[in-house]
Structure 1
Amino acid sequence: MINNSTHVNWDGHAIKLTWFPTDQYPSIEKVTSVHGICFYENKILLVHIKDRGFNHPGGHVDQGETPEQALFREIYEEGYVNGESQYLGFIEVNQEHNPQYDPEGKYPRIGYQLFYKVNVTECFPFARENESITRIWVEPSEVPFVINDHKLVNIILKEALDR
């Protein structure tokens, strides 16, 4: 299996991220979030989350939700879209070498973020009822110029484009 890794500093926490393109799910009880690379009319949906900037819609899995239920809730809450999903793989979020890791905190030492390709079938009026303040549709080649995040975002976008 091909994997790509990077190290990030999230709020002072040293974390290793590794992308695994796969059709296999990791340990579901350690899935912390889901994210959708949403396509509509050959463009990519990006949402601006207050105080965080632009990114793909996504978020935490609530208790009692499956990852797919969380995905559809998040893409609607943040982007006001619905569609058909295809699982792409996951990022392993590894805090084994994070000296500030809190074992009593809400995240596991090793957790997972799931990523899906979503072909948008419904696009609803943008209501700003949740944490996103705007949505934009961009050409795939423009995504790296809009999202200011770790390098794995571009690798995952390429995976979504290739499928």
Structure 2
Amino acid sequence: MATTIYADWGGHYVKLTWLPGINSPDPALVTSVHGVCIDQGKIMLVHVTGRGFNLPGGHVEEGESPEETVIRECMEEGYVKCANPRLIGAIQVSHEENPKFDPNGRYPLIGYQLFYQADVAECLPYLREHECTSRIWVEPQLSAYVMEDHNLAYLIVEEAVRHADALT
């Protein structure tokens, strides 16, 4: 079921709609890709400098598929080798009501953040070589007490856990 909230991203008023089970949208509209890495019933969160604990993720690089992006981002931010990334949904990010939207800027008027559930193939020593300062493993039901994000993040974690449980 789609769920919509509004968020203030640095003075930008955006409409966010969680779309579980969506098929992958046009790659040109994908603004970022994120992963819910599950290992032994716990999810990995990374501490992103300036943003707190969150799911690993980032922008798709030139020539990279979303699946390759989530695998790379989980490794770069969490030092976790992930396998079998499965798209569980997307957040539609709409700037239609954002008075500060720049039509010539980096982001489309309506874009998508893709979310994948991935298996942990290997957890490596944490080296802090990128923008994240630490990683932690938490029980999914406690993510709301640790993550510093909007309410849709908790729905995403729930969806990832349901998806992983359905596979076992």
Deviations 1:109-158 (A, max 9, x none): 11100000111011111111111100001111110000121111111111
Q: 1:51 corresponds to which residue?
A: 50
Aligned length: 162
- Equivalent residue, structure 2, for 1:97: 97
Q: Which amino acid aligns with 2:57?
A: G
Between the two proteins, what is the percent identity of the paired residues?
A: 49
- What are the ranges of 5 or more consecutive residues in structure 1 without an aligned counterpart? none
1:23 shift after superposition: 4.8
Q: 1:36 to 1:94 in 2, by over 3 A?
A: same
Distance 1:107 1:30 in 2: 8
Map residues 1-163 of structure 1 onto 2, 5 A cutoff. 2-84=1-83, 85-163=85-163
Letter in 2 for 1:49: V
CA contact (8 A) 2:74 2:82 kept: no
Say which SS state the counterpart of residue 129 (structure 1) adopts: coil
Give distance in 2, aligned partners of 1:3 and 1:97. 19
CA offset digits 1:31-66 (Å, max 9, x no partner): 010000111111110000111100000011112211
Counterparts of 1:74 and 1:11 in 2: how far apart (Å)? 23
Separation (CA, whole Å) in 1 of partners of 2:152 and 2:92: 11
After TM superposition, which residue ranges in structure 1, 4 or more long, deviate above 6 angstroms? none
CA RMSD of aligned residues (A): 0.9
Partner letter of residue 149 of structure 1?
Answer: D
Supply the AA of the counterpart residue of 1:93: V
Q: 1:151 to 1:87 in 2, by over 3 A?
A: same
